[in-house]
Amino acid sequence: MTDYPLPERKPARPYFSSGPCAKPPGWSPDKLATESLGRSHRSKIGKARLQYAIDLIREVLEVPDTHRIGIVPGSDTGAVEMAMWTMLGARGVTTLAWESFGEGWVTDALKQLRIDPTVIRADYGRLPDLSQVDWSTDVVFTWNGTTSGVRVPNGDWIAADREGLSIADATSAVFAQDIDWDKVDVLTFSWQKVLGGEGAHGVLILGPRAVERLESYTPAWPLPKVFRLTKGGKLIEGIFKGETINTPSMLAVEDAIFALEWAKSIGGLPAMKARADANASALDAIVEGRDWLRHLAADPAIRSNTSVCLTVDGADEARIKAMAKLLEEQGAAYDVAGYRDAPAGLRIWCGATVDTADIDALGPWLDWAYAATAA
């Protein structure tokens, strides 16, 4: 392994994990505001900072005033679970799965809520036939499959006159891809993906039709306290005004505020999308230049520009782990092995907090790791 010459240049920030992801350029702990630390989240400053984070999310993501934004516990998973447990069961349910997190929502609907959903699946690297979706049902799907590198191309397939709710896990799509807010009734994400923030907290965005469902429907099953969004048949509005259900980490909130202010400073959502697209294009050039490297998502129209998944010719899980280990030991790339449930391969985060120059520098290091692990 040591006989193969090392590339001359390393990525300056070799953080290619798909969650938690790279911090924004220029980030350091001493740049975080500290006035809210050690204070109650229900103090004047605590609520003000939480509301400020919500306001920044709305501004940078261009969320319309028709939609409410709340900070909730449990990262993106908590936000999706909250939506499923409080809203599903009022009508039929369709779940879409083309990667592991989508399969997770299938399992929850089928085995935990026991609502017998219609399940539409596709293999890793592919998208199911979206025309099969029955919009008289509630539909749960991942906008961008973090573990497969497959995304929906747009929101055109979502019926404008739908009877059911569209519930989108968009944690690796927001801040990098266009979201048609008229087509989304519930959208969830976490700071730890495209913002490069910390985990533990999720964001739940509700459109008017989701609020109507919450205020008109009571699930048959009991709801844990951290899932309760209504009281006396009315939405708990405070959740969407900085009054979180449980105690948040104000340090994580300040970290998210830093990332959101950075996003705003570089030009907001258009600039964030452009950075992700540039990174994905740079990685695509690396793939195109190597006959042993391929995209798991063969169709560019459905290929992610954030969690880009690659296959390595002839490589099993053991070789992928060996490549990732060597790259980490050299400080050239961290956390690039594919997700444990996905086909063996590499996964390179290309979200906006990554610099394109670091993607460019990664290519020779992938060559080196591939050669160094050859049998």
Q: Select from 3.90.1150.10, 3.40.50.720, 3.30.70.3000, 3.40.50.2020 the CATH code of 267-372.
A: 3.90.1150.10
List CB contacts of 289: < 8 A, sequence separation 6 or more: 363
> Distance (Å, rounded) from C-alpha 65 to C-alpha 309?
35
Q: How confident is the model at residue 1 (pLDDT cuts 50, 70, 90)?
A: very low
**SS3 category, 87:** helix
> Distance (Å, rounded) from C-alpha 85 to C-alpha 112?
10
Position 2 pLDDT exceeds 60: no
Strands (E), the chain: 68-73, 93-97, 118-121, 138-142, 144-145, 150-151, 166-169, 186-190, 201-206, 230-231, 234-235, 293-295, 307-312, 346-349
Q: Average pLDDT for residues 213-229, to the nearest whole number?
A: 96
Indicate the domain borders of the chain.
Answer: 29-264, 267-372
Q: Which pTM value belongs to this model?
A: 0.97
Other CB atoms within a 10 A radius of the CB of residue 110 amount to 15
Give the model's pLDDT for residue 3.
74
Reading the block at residue 352, the tokens are 């906006």
Position 130 pLDDT exceeds 80: yes
Architecture of the 29-264 domain: 3-Layer(aba) Sandwich (3.40)
CA angle, 85 as apex, 84 and 86 as ends, to 5°? 95
Give the model's pLDDT for residue 173.
98
Position 180 pLDDT exceeds 50: yes
